[in-house]
Amino acid sequence: MGTPVPFKLMRIGPGESSSYTDQSNYGWARHGDANIMSVPHILSSIISEDVRLNLVEPNIYSVYPIGDTPGSYDSIGASTIYDVVACNRFYNLIMWGYSIKDYATLCKDSLVSSPEGWVLDVACGSLAFTAGIYADCSDRPMVFLDQSIKLLRKAKSRLEKLNGNISKNMFFLHADALQLPFRANVFHTAISLNLLHCLCMADVKRALKEIQRVLTKRGNSAITTLVQSSRWSDRYLNMLAGSGALISRSSDDLLSAFNEMQMQVTHEIKGNLAFIKYG
Ligand SMILES: C[S@@+](CC[C@H](N)C(=O)[O-])C[C@H]1O[C@@H](n2cnc3c(N)ncnc32)[C@H](O)[C@@H]1O
């Protein structure tokens, strides 16, 4: 890993700084002013040199000015509807024809096939499907990245409930999947569940390019996304697409994006969900 780069963080409330002390590799490095701190060394070592991170709250950092909410899931009610309805196991089984347990299997397989090094979850949302898997793997350094600060908070609280606290090597990052704030070749595992159906084709390619860029040469990636599948539910998929909630595309169109990015993948379609493995 490269030399740690100091990043200035926002000021936090009076007295709060004293709870963060410099400890080990995962601890905090201080600037001169007691109220201004840099990110933990371990995180700064993978962040691009031109990126400045703001501390939102313990464990959650942002590339945006504090209070900026570019994520559409931060609008009123959206994150709750997503977490309660869209992540419901019956909804997914009946509507989209797959078991949400398949996410855990895919995530676990991906973590096992590159068992060491940094893990990135791109557009982690609230970790509704995979918090349990990550909680069991807390020895690896991990970044959970999303554009929704509300969903990042839910993700953090899920992991906190499961593990009793947030491991020192787990970081939540409010940032853009289309412009990942990381140096190249730093992640051994990159998981991205259900982001691609939120993106137009040009942005799918940007997101894939970014995943390729930040993955090490021997790293692997696991990706899921909704696709058309000749089920009755294609009508619902197209209706959601019509309302602007997501993008409806064929698996051929999806796979052509991977081909164009010269990413050799294996894939499986269950119901309306494509499970894709790269690397
Ligand atoms: C359908 S949800 C999937 C969340 C989670 N991976 C899951 O499967 O439950 C899509 C997620 O993508 C995030 N997202 C959308 N566009 C993004 C972008 N450009 N950068 C980062 N996150 C983004 C949203 O905030 C949301 O959390």
What distance, in Å, lies between the first and last C-alpha atoms of the chain? 21
Asked whether the predicted pLDDT for residue 77 surpasses 80, the reply is: no
Domain count, the chain: 2
Token pair, residue 184, equals: 């190249």
Q: Are residues 41 and 122 in the same domain?
A: no
Q: Which residue has the higher pLDDT, 57 or 1?
A: 57
Q: Which atom of ligand 1 is nearest to the CA of 177?
A: 20
pLDDT digits (tens, 9 = 90+) for 88-143: 999 999 999 999 999 999 999 999 998 899 999 999 999 999 999 999 987 899 99
Residue nearest to atom 8 of ligand 1 (CA): 193
Residue 180 DSSP SS3: coil
Mean of all residue pLDDT scores within the chain = 87
pLDDT digits (tens, 9 = 90+) for 26-37: 444 333 333 335
Is position 65 within any domain?
A: no
Is position 61 within any domain?
A: no
Residue 216 dihedral angles phi and psi, to the nearest 5° = -70, 165
In the chain, where does DSSP find H-type helix?
Answer: 41-44, 78-81, 89-91, 101-113, 131-135, 149-163, 201-214, 234-242, 251-260
Instruction: Return the pLDDT at 36.
Output: 37
Domain that holds residue 17: 1-45
pTM over 0.85: yes
Give the residue-averaged pLDDT of 216-241. Answer: 96
Instruction: Return the pLDDT at 37.
Output: 53
Q: Are residues 82 and 41 in the same domain?
A: no
Asked whether the predicted pLDDT for residue 276 surpasses 50, the reply is: yes
Asked whether the predicted pLDDT for residue 52 surpasses 70, the reply is: yes
Over pLDDT 70: what percentage of the chain? 86
Q: What is the CATH number of the domain that holds 251?
A: 3.40.50.150
Q: Are residues 210 and 102 in the same domain?
A: yes
Instruction: Return the pLDDT at 194.
Output: 97
Read off the pLDDT band of 80 (50, 70, 90): confident
Asked whether the predicted pLDDT for residue 196 surpasses 90, the reply is: yes
Q: In what order do the strands lie in the sheet with 170-174?
A: 54-57, 60-62, 170-174, 142-146, 118-122, 187-193, 215-226, 273-278, 265-270
Question: What residues flank ligand 1, with Cβ below 6 Å?
Answer: 71, 73, 87, 123-125, 128-129, 146-148, 151, 176-178, 193-195, 198
Is position 60 within any domain?
A: no
Q: Are residues 127 and 216 in the same domain?
A: yes
Is position 265 within any domain?
A: yes
Name the CA dihedral angle for 271, 274, 275, 279, rounded to a multiple of 10 degrees.
160
Instruction: Return the pLDDT at 67.
Output: 85
Q: Which atom of ligand 1 is nearest to the CA of 129?
A: 9
Q: For residues 44 and 7, is the Cβ–Cβ distance under 8 A?
A: yes
CA of 112 relative to ligand 1 center, distance in Å: 24
